[in-house]
């Protein structure tokens, strides 16, 4: 990537620190897009977009994966390290503070019951994310089969995740290969 101007690491840190601080429940990749492409013009739309698919496809959370991709394009490995550290630093401290407070709240009557309700609401939102992720798979019989099989293997039969991935990952990509298309060459 030839950069017309080098983005300072401190700017990368500042930008991703703020994104991390206000990151609640998804939608972060579009926020990163807005901040780095639209507002700061650090990179072009064409440079950013492949990162969205990459962040989604690779293991790990898509928002932190996207931060690594953007950091890498801007400033190589140092940029990637800066972006992910920045994005996690505020949530790290805030979450630990919350976990610390949690321990001292445990003895309050009704607190445990309340936490179940909070968890249930969070599970409901997760389920909605699942519904969104499942929708595009329903058009394709082999994608649907892989989705159901991976759910049954890990969620119902409780097979260990790593061997399941080692078997299902290559199998699923092989099944998808005949249907895969090359987009217009860049």
By CB under 8 A, tell whether 45 contacts other proteins: no
Residues 147-186 close enough to bind other proteins by CB under 8 A: 147-151, 153-156, 158, 160-162, 164-165, 168-169, 172-177, 179-186
Rg from Cα positions in the chain: 20
By CB under 8 A, tell whether 128 contacts other proteins: yes
By CB under 8 A, tell whether 24 contacts other proteins: yes
Distance in angstroms (rounded) separating the CA atoms of residues 178 and 186? 22
At 27 the three-state DSSP class reads coil
- For the bound state, the minimum distance from the C-beta of residue 153 to other proteins, rounded and expressed in Å, comes to 8
Residues 73-92 close enough to bind other proteins by CB under 8 A: 73, 77, 80, 84, 88, 90-92
By CB under 8 A, tell whether 141 contacts other proteins: no
Segments in the chain forming alpha helices (H)? 9-21, 28-33, 45-57, 62-105, 111-134, 141-151, 161-176
Residues 1-20 close enough to bind other proteins by CB under 8 A: 1, 20
Contact 37, 15 (CB under 8 A): no
By CB under 8 A, tell whether 25 contacts other proteins: yes
- Selection from 29, 86, 152, 157 nearest residue 37 by Cα: 29
Nearer to other proteins, 9 or 154 (CB): 154
By CB under 8 A, tell whether 44 contacts other proteins: no
Contacts of 66 (CB under 8 A, 6+ apart): 28, 29, 32, 51, 52, 55
Q: Which of 13, 51, 75, 82 binds other proteins (CB under 8 A)?
A: 51
Nearer to other proteins, 3 or 112 (CB): 112
Nearer to other proteins, 3 or 95 (CB): 95
Distance in angstroms (rounded) separating the CA atoms of residues 19 and 90? 10
By CB under 8 A, tell whether 59 contacts other proteins: yes
């Amino acid at each position: 990537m030839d950069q017309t101007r080098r983005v300072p690491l401190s700017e990368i840190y500042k930008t991703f620190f703020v994104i991390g601080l206000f990151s609640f429940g998804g939608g972060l990749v579009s926020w990163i897009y807005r901040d780095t492409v639209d507002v700061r013009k650090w990179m072009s739309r064409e440079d950013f977009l492949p990162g969205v698919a990459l962040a989604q496809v690779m293991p790990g959370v898509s928002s932190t994966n996207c931060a690594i991709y953007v950091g890498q394009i801007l400033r190589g490995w140092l940029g990637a390290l800066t972006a992910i550290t920045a994005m996690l630093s505020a949530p790290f401290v805030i979450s630990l503070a919350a976990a610390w407070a949690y321990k001292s709240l445990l003895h309050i009557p009704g607190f445990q019951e309340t936490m179940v309700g909070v968890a249930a609401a969070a599970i409901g939102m997760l389920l909605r994310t699942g519904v969104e992720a499942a929708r595009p798979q329903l058009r394709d019989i082999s994608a649907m089969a892989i989705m159901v099989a991976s759910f049954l293997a890990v969620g119902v039969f409780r097979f260990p995740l790593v061997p399941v991935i080692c078997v299902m990952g290559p199998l699923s990509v092989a099944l998808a290969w005949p249907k895969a298309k090359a987009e217009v060459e860049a």
